[in-house]
Structure 1
Amino acid sequence: MGGLLRNIIDITPPLRAASAVFPGDARYEARTTFAMGPGCPVNVTAFTMSVHCGAHADAPLHYAAGAASIDQVPLDDFVGPARVIDVRGASALVGPETLAGRLEGVPQRVLLRLTDGLDPDVWPTGFRALAPETVELLAAAGVRLVGVDVPSVDPETSKDLPSHMAFFRHDMRILENLDLSKVPEGEFELIALPIPLEGLDAAPVRAILRSLA
């Protein structure tokens, strides 16, 4: 799980064969293509996985046909000041009332802690998600990127993805599957750059926070 190194907080869960994925999606798999030994000076590994495995950025193409793929999304939204807000609770959806009075002076990036911390090897059936009204409130406050510590901003059983659609209407960015379990509320610098996977609907990120102090 995420750890603290000097002023850097790693909020990227590890990827391994046991990593949980959306039921039916492609799991992380790795295999050795070259192994160091007589006649071979290097180790080389190939891996396959869903682009939604682990910490990742959704592209609009993920939820809107013909929209921008992840390599077409501007990178500036993924780097810069961010506010971590703890919205843990028992409700299935995080409603806008949870953010009342907490968005004054908010930067363009907000990371929402929805859970006490998830086991990255166990699929969190029934995980909490965002109400679309919450996305609308964040958009009205000028937020450009929202990150969450669950697999999706919509419930796992949703078929119409209303919160994803709210992000699409406002051309906002989405980070999912972050590890915020060791992050206090406050102001940080976020760096979470997606790999430019040409034409694809999402990409892994190595997400970190840096203290502004």
Structure 2
Amino acid sequence: MGKKWIDISQPLTNDIAHWPGDTPFSYETVFTKDETGSVNIGKITTSLHTGTHIDAPFHFLNEGKTVLDLDLELYIGKAKLVDVSDWDEVTPEAFFNSELDGVQRLLVKTKKQVEPHIFPQEIPRLSPELAPFLKEKGVRLLGVDLPSVDALNSKEMETHHALYQHDIHILENIYVEHVEPGLYEIIALPLPIKGGDGSPVRAVIRPL
């Protein structure tokens, strides 16, 4: 038996936290088997940025690529999980003891505990200075256990833009408090949403 896949996605439930003012997630069975005589049929309503999701550049740039334009190779392959939960501000210094050379997909644990049903009041700050540092190491995908790579009240979206300028894509709201740091294989494919500024993903990892 090979090593098992570990789910690092937040389950999409009707009480999952969502951005204040954004569309909450909702699932309902619209037609029951008793009504149709054959099947149950469900419906979902959601923001594309609720739960574990990727950001497409169009999310913060009108001229940016949308979900269907993105390279699927970004979201499949070797990844490294690093714990920086002792840092209030995550700067390049937080990774000085981690071997990142050649790491294309970096997953970051910034919090010791994540509450998927409670939207945080504040989150650790990810410095825009991370972007050139991670680019130099070869990182192309940054995954974080946060609803955003910027401060929750940010309008400038400095870190989003810095990562984009260094060709680093964004995966947010991963759930890794139960996972040990190390090397993994990841699959975190977005849905093929035409025109989408983001997409929910089912993110799974397997130890290497």
TM-score normalised per structure 1: 0.93
For residue 94 of structure 1, what is the aligned residue in structure 2? 90
Q: Aligned equivalents of 1:20 and 1:82: distance in 2?
A: 26
Q: Aligned equivalents of 1:108 and 1:140: distance in 2?
A: 11
For residue 122 of structure 2, what is the aligned residue in structure 1? 126
For residue 110 of structure 2, what is the aligned residue in structure 1? 114
Secondary structure of the residue aligned to 1:135 is: helix
Q: Which amino acid aligns with 2:39?
A: V
Unpaired stretches in structure 2, ≥5 consecutive residues: none
Question: What is the aligned counterpart of 1:83 among 58, 80, 85?
Answer: 80
Does residue 208 (structure 1) correspond to residue 196 (structure 2)? The answer is: no
Q: 1:129 to 1:40 in 2, by over 3 A?
A: farther
1:25-64 alignment to 2 at 5 Å?
Answer: 25-37=22-34, 40-64=37-61
Q: 1:90 to 1:167 in 2, by over 3 A?
A: closer
Does residue 136 (structure 1) correspond to residue 132 (structure 2)? The answer is: yes
Q: 1:90 to 1:83 in 2, by over 3 A?
A: closer
1:187-198 alignment to 2 at 5 Å?
Answer: 187-198=183-194
Does residue 10 (structure 1) correspond to residue 4 (structure 2)? The answer is: no
The Cα of 1:102 is off from its aligned counterpart by 1.2
Q: Which amino acid aligns with 2:9?
A: T
Q: Deviations over 1:6-34 (max 9, x none)?
A: 52110001111111111111001122221
The Cα of 1:38 is off from its aligned counterpart by 6.1
The Cα of 1:39 is off from its aligned counterpart by 5.0
Q: Deviations over 1:12-66 (max 9, x none)?
A: 0111111111111100112222101265211110110000010000000011111
Q: 1:99 to 1:46 in 2, by over 3 A?
A: same
TM-score normalised per structure 2: 0.95
Percent identity, aligned pairs only, is: 37
8 A contact 2:33–2:39 mirrored in 1: yes
Q: Which amino acid aligns with 2:109?
A: R
Does residue 21 (structure 1) correspond to residue 24 (structure 2)? The answer is: no
The Cα of 1:90 is off from its aligned counterpart by 4.8
Aligned residues: 207
Q: Aligned equivalents of 2:36 and 2:147: distance in 1?
A: 43
Q: CA RMSD in A?
A: 1.5
